[in-house]
Amino acid sequence: MHTTTRVVDTVNMLEGPGAARPYHHGNLRAALIATAVDQARAGGADAVVLRDAARRTGVSHNAAYRHFADRDDLLAEVSERAMAELEQRMRDRLADLPDDDRGEPASARLRAVGREYVHFALAEPGLFATAFACARPKDGAPGQGPYGVLSTMLDELVTTGVLPAERRPGADVTCWAAVHGLAVLCLQGPLRDLSEREREEQLDGLLERLSRGL
């Protein structure tokens, strides 16, 4: 899609000072999204501002409307990237786990994923909030996204025999809700002022209770 035979490098458009970009940017859509992601990272969904994004990208306002129907459309794109980054972090965390934990209690893997979920939320509050602030319901494949990762973990628990199969349905939602709730409460809720240590303790407690109740 969007094939082009233009000579200019359409990917690495980090313009130098005297770049004098051509009339046609060549990569505007991606560049705008990147700028908007920066905005979201810095200040959440509200900080995603069309005019400012265009300005920072070195293009006039309104240029964005050739690539996005409206602000919400751009925001949806940012939300998607944020969600993807969250998923990637969870997968990376899983991959980093020592193989020792591979065979033994798969619940350790589940805990690691949950912990990473909360850590991401606290490390990237803007992106985390934007990931879920999308007004447009973008229906993705059910096995994809952070939910997919979590779901896979739980399936693993069943095959390992740790989790009785009859208790599997609904377990994903419970796990997700608990972890998501803690993240939200720590970000904008009454747990905002917890120290890092207290937060970690609460997270540990939650994960323990969660696996106990599965």
Partner DNA sequence: GTGTGCATGTTGCCGGTGTCCACATCGCGT
Partner DNA sequence: ACGCGATGTGGACACCGGCAACATGCACAC
Of 45-64, binders to DNA (CB under 7 A) are: 48-52, 54, 59-63
Residue among 193 and 196 whose Cβ is closer to a copy of itself: 193
In whole angstroms, what is the distance from residue 146 CA to residue 83 CA? 7
The interface partner of residue 180, options being a copy of itself, DNA, none and the CB cut-off 5 to 8 Å by kind, is a copy of itself
Counting residues that bind DNA (by CB under 7 A) gives 27
In whole angstroms, what is the distance from residue 199 CA to residue 189 CA? 13
In whole angstroms, what is the distance from residue 24 CA to residue 21 CA? 8
In whole angstroms, what is the distance from residue 66 CA to residue 59 CA? 12
In whole angstroms, what is the distance from residue 75 CA to residue 153 CA? 30
Shortest spacing between CB 54 and a copy of itself, in angstroms: 22
What is the contact surface with a copy of itself in residues (CB under 8 A)? 46, 132-134, 137, 145, 147, 169-171, 173-174, 176-185, 188-193, 201-202, 205-206, 209-214
Please identify which residue in 1, 12, 20, 24 interacts with DNA, judged by CB under 7 A. Answer: 24
Question: 29-39 burial, b if ≥16 CB within 10 A, otherwise e?
Answer: ebbbbbbbbbb
Give the interface with DNA as residue ranges (CB under 7 A). 2, 4-6, 22-26, 28, 48-52, 54, 59-63, 65-67, 70-72
